[in-house]
Amino acid sequence: MSATKQTHGFQAEVSRLLHLMIHSLYSNREIFLRELISNASDACDKLRFEALDTPALMEEDPEPAIRLTLDKSAGTLTLADNGIGMSEAEIIDHLGTIARSGTEKFLASLSGDQKKDAQLIGQFGVGFYSAFIVADKVTVESRRAGLAASEGVRWESDGQGEFSVESIERAERGTAVILHLRKDAKEFLDDGKIRQVVGQYSDHVAFPISLAVAGDDKAPETINSATALWQRARQEISDEEYENFYKHISHDFEAPLNWSHNKVEGKLEYTSLLFTPPRAPFDLYHREASRGLKLYVQRVFIMDDAEQFLPQYLRFIKGVIDAPNLPLNVSRELLQDYGPVKKIRTALTKRVLQMLKKLSKDEEKYSRFWAQFGQVLKEGIGEDPDNRDAVAALLRFASSEQGDSLTSLDDYLARRKDGQGKIYYLLGDNAAAARQSPHLEVFRKKGIEVLLLSDPVDEWMISYLDRYQEVPLVNAARGELDLDGEDKPDDAEQDNALIKRLQESLTGQVEAVRATRRLVDSPVCLVLAEDQLGPQMRRMLEAAGQPVPEMLPVLEVNLDHPLLKALDSQEPGADFSELAGLLLDQAMLAEGQLPRDPAAAARRMHHLLSRAVTPNA
Ligand SMILES: Nc1ncnc2c1ncn2[C@@H]1O[C@H](COP(=O)(O)OP(=O)(O)OP(=O)(O)O)[C@@H](O)[C@H]1O
């Protein structure tokens, strides 16, 4: 009826996503039904929420419902809901663009390998566009609750880069998605098939889903149980139901790693159902990425991303919380400093940490978890002092004694040597480099294990973790080592003439030169003073444009090493200074740092090499 049919181009990312999705999800294609039903259920949730303030939005049709209709002769499957609906502007915006930062980069990371991409797209959440996996044309008709019947809108596309929009007369509120099924997707015209897929993926949707066949006299039949899953008793819910519920709320297709479902009674009554996802969303580190739980009050949906119920470092946890005693008109601002919310948050945080502890008993699953979320969890060491030991127990580290496998602090403590009162760690740019560090020599000799920390956040993180189970953590490359009382060189040793000569020659480049017992095979190493910034923190500050205090390292020397012995007999003069400079350069290189003056270091090295190849020069 409208003379104003307009054509729009999809945002480039949408076209690309559509193309990749159709290709990579072909063998999982029944998920389109779950995704569209999830959207319909969200739309009903949103309507109920808005109607709390504006009851008139319910019009004459107050019971939220989702209706599926098969039309075999037209070859269409229609999903209709009487939820919130969309205005013309909304439909153009929601069904033509993707408003998540990082999307372009994410799409570029897809490989073209169907299996791998299918999993990755799960991180993204496929949503509405999955309709095109089974349909070669999709028509959406909608009217937003509260608008007049004349303000209906029809959206149509064949998924090839463009969509059209026109205004229509639409008496019913809500949205109908009409799928013109592809030739190879006609199985979805079979009511048995629809029943099976809805039963499998969407049984727990809290609104009735009915199925009708056009031309059939039978009344539409409800085909799901239509109770909120989290309200049912734990023992009545199968693992598969939990898994499907997770997929429904997260738009993921892989099963969660584990979950925790609890009902808390009493003054602070609430039910929580929390899931550990199998993969990090692609935008885990984007500020505006969705995070947090879905909040319900008395089964009425209140908001997505209720981030107030968990701390930042647990932002990857998915789930729902139903707190029947919160006011229905609760807003984000109100949640912020609402006493009961803080209490629930404290309890849920503990709950999640327990859930992760349980997960850690399953080594295979936990290593998947750790690879995806380990970095985020480390934020908790700084962020959550009250639960520091519980978070620390979940951390995993490379270790000098454990080859490629990672260790927990508890396992480290269980293996420690009699009388070893400290947990030792070493920071490095990567575990392989840390493993080569001269600082480990004395620990190896004594059979003491050292944790190898190489994440960019590790130095920051460890600065908050000075103890675990009352045992102090000590940086193996910092301060004076005192492994078993006998490691400190005595004053007479420090009073050595060679040390004094080195110190003189390196004035302005090192804080001090000291004799050491840290080393076995290496001649020298650098040691940080107790209060000095390490290289990782330095780089982080520099990258953030912060001023970095200039502090000189301490050079420790192994007086038993043949090189130092030879140096001792070297006459004072230019050669001695040159060799002293080279020793310092080497110590920096062994730390993975550049010498302070790389050009001068290279010159010294060339000089030395020339002499080595032409001994009489
Ligand atoms: N049945 C519907 N009724 C009302 N609005 C809808 C409906 N289906 C989709 N929309 C709107 O279109 C938007 C985009 O839907 P889409 O499924 O692509 O993404 P999403 O659901 O927001 O995200 P994700 O699928 O990753 O959770 C929705 O956020 C919603 O605003």
Task: Report pLDDT digits (tens) over 488-519.
Answer: 666 667 778 899 999 999 999 998 999 988 89
Which atom of ligand 1 sits closest to the CA of residue 81?
A: 1
Residue 3 pLDDT level (bands cut at 50, 70, 90): low
Q: What residue numbers bound the domain in which 264 lies?
A: 230-362
Helix axes 12-24, 114-124, angle to 10 degrees: 130
For residues 365 and 178, give the distance between their C-alpha atoms in angstroms, rounded to a whole number: 40
**One-letter amino acid identity for 68?**
L
Interface pTM, i.e. ipTM: 0.96
Residue 407 placed within a domain: no
158 in the same domain as 68: yes
User: Of 467 and 122, which is predicted with more confidence?
Assistant: 467
Helix axes 31-53, 239-250, angle to 10 degrees: 70
User: Of 338 and 422, which is predicted with more confidence?
Assistant: 422
- Taking CA atoms only, the protein residue closest to ligand 1 atom 15 is 128
Cβ(458)–Cβ(418) below 8 Å: no
Task: Report pLDDT digits (tens) over 165-209.
Answer: 999 999 999 999 999 999 999 999 999 999 999 988 888 898 999
The answer to whether the annotation marks 101 as part of a ligand binding site is: yes
Q: Which residue has the tokens 């060491």?
A: 381
State what percent of residues in the chain have pLDDT above 90.
Answer: 56
pTM over 0.90: no
Residue 272 placed within a domain: yes
Q: What is the mean pLDDT of residues 285-297?
A: 80
What is the pLDDT at residue 485?
A: 58
- CATH no. for residue 154? 3.30.565.10
- Taking CA atoms only, the protein residue closest to ligand 1 atom 4 is 85
Task: Report residue 322 as tokens.
Answer: 């139903």
Instruction: Among 268-277, 282-291, 365-374, 603-612, name the one with the lowest average pLDDT.
Output: 282-291
* The pLDDT of residue 486 is above 70: no
25 in the same domain as 161: yes
128 CB near ligand 1 (under 6 Å) = yes
Helix axes 191-201, 239-250, angle to 10 degrees: 90
203 in the same domain as 74: yes
Compute, in degrees rounded to 10, the torsion defined by CA atoms 534, 537, 542, 546.
-110
Taking the centre of ligand 1 as the mean of its atom positions, its distance from the CA of residue 128, in whole angstroms, is 6
96 in the same domain as 40: yes
Residue 431 pLDDT level (bands cut at 50, 70, 90): confident
Last residue of a domain, one of 362, 379, 396: 362
39 CB near ligand 1 (under 6 Å) = yes
308 in the same domain as 187: no
Q: Which residue has the tokens 């153009």?
A: 92
Task: Report residue 260 as tokens.
Answer: 């925790």
Last residue of a domain, one of 227, 256, 273: 227
Cα 491–chain centre separation: 51
The answer to whether the annotation marks 332 as part of a ligand binding site is: yes
Q: What is the mean pLDDT of residues 539-552?
A: 82
Q: What is the mean pLDDT of residues 378-387?
A: 96
* The pLDDT of residue 289 is above 80: no
For residues 155 and 298, give the distance between their C-alpha atoms in angstroms, rounded to a whole number: 35
What is the pLDDT at residue 617?
A: 54
* The pLDDT of residue 301 is above 90: no
**Residue 364 burial (C-beta neighbours within 10 Å; 0-12, 13-18, 19+):** exposed
Handedness of CA 40, 45, 49, 51 (dihedral sign): positive
What is the pLDDT at residue 516?
A: 87
182 in the same domain as 148: yes
State what percent of residues in the chain have pLDDT above 70.
Answer: 97
The answer to whether the annotation marks 496 as part of a ligand binding site is: no
- Taking CA atoms only, the protein residue closest to ligand 1 atom 22 is 127
Residue 417 placed within a domain: no
Task: Report pLDDT digits (tens) over 344-379.
Answer: 999 999 999 999 999 999 999 999 999 999 999 999
What is the pLDDT at residue 71?
A: 97
Taking the centre of ligand 1 as the mean of its atom positions, its distance from the CA of residue 94, in whole angstroms, is 7
Residue 260 placed within a domain: yes
What is the pLDDT at residue 117?
A: 79
Question: In 101-161, at which residue ranges do the beta strands (DSSP E only) sit?
Answer: 135-143, 152-157
349 in the same domain as 492: no
238 in the same domain as 220: no
For residues 518 and 130, give the distance between their C-alpha atoms in angstroms, rounded to a whole number: 61
Question: In 350-462, at which residue ranges do the beta strands (DSSP E only) sit?
Answer: 398-399, 423-427, 450-453
219 in the same domain as 234: no
- CATH no. for residue 611? 1.20.120.790
Alpha-carbon distance values, 37 to 25, 138, 222, 338, 365 (Å): 18, 15, 14, 33, 30
DSSP 40-77: HHHHHHHHHHHHHH-GGGGTT--S--EEEEEETTTTEE
* The pLDDT of residue 615 is above 70: no
* The pLDDT of residue 119 is above 80: no
Residue 116 placed within a domain: yes
- CATH no. for residue 271? 3.30.230.80
Q: Report how many domains make up the chain.
A: 3
User: Of 343 and 494, which is predicted with more confidence?
Assistant: 343
Residue 421 placed within a domain: no
User: Of 571 and 394, which is predicted with more confidence?
Assistant: 394
How many Cα atoms occupy the beta-carbon half-sphere of 221 within 13 Å?
A: 12
Residue 489 placed within a domain: yes
Last residue of a domain, one of 180, 210, 227: 227
93 in the same domain as 45: yes
Task: Report pLDDT digits (tens) over 31-88.
Answer: 899 999 999 999 999 999 999 889 999 998 989 999 999 999 999 999 999 999 999 9
Q: What is the mean pLDDT of the chain?
A: 89
* The pLDDT of residue 112 is above 80: no
Compute, in degrees rounded to 10, the torsion defined by CA atoms 541, 546, 550, 552.
0
Q: What is the mean pLDDT of residues 535-564?
A: 85
95 in the same domain as 198: yes
What is the pLDDT at residue 208?
A: 95
Q: What is the mean pLDDT of residues 411-420?
A: 93
Q: Give the mutation target among 11, 41, 42 for probing the ligand 1 site: most ligand atoms within 8 A of CB.
A: 42
105 in the same domain as 88: yes
Residue 595 pLDDT level (bands cut at 50, 70, 90): confident
Residue 394 placed within a domain: no
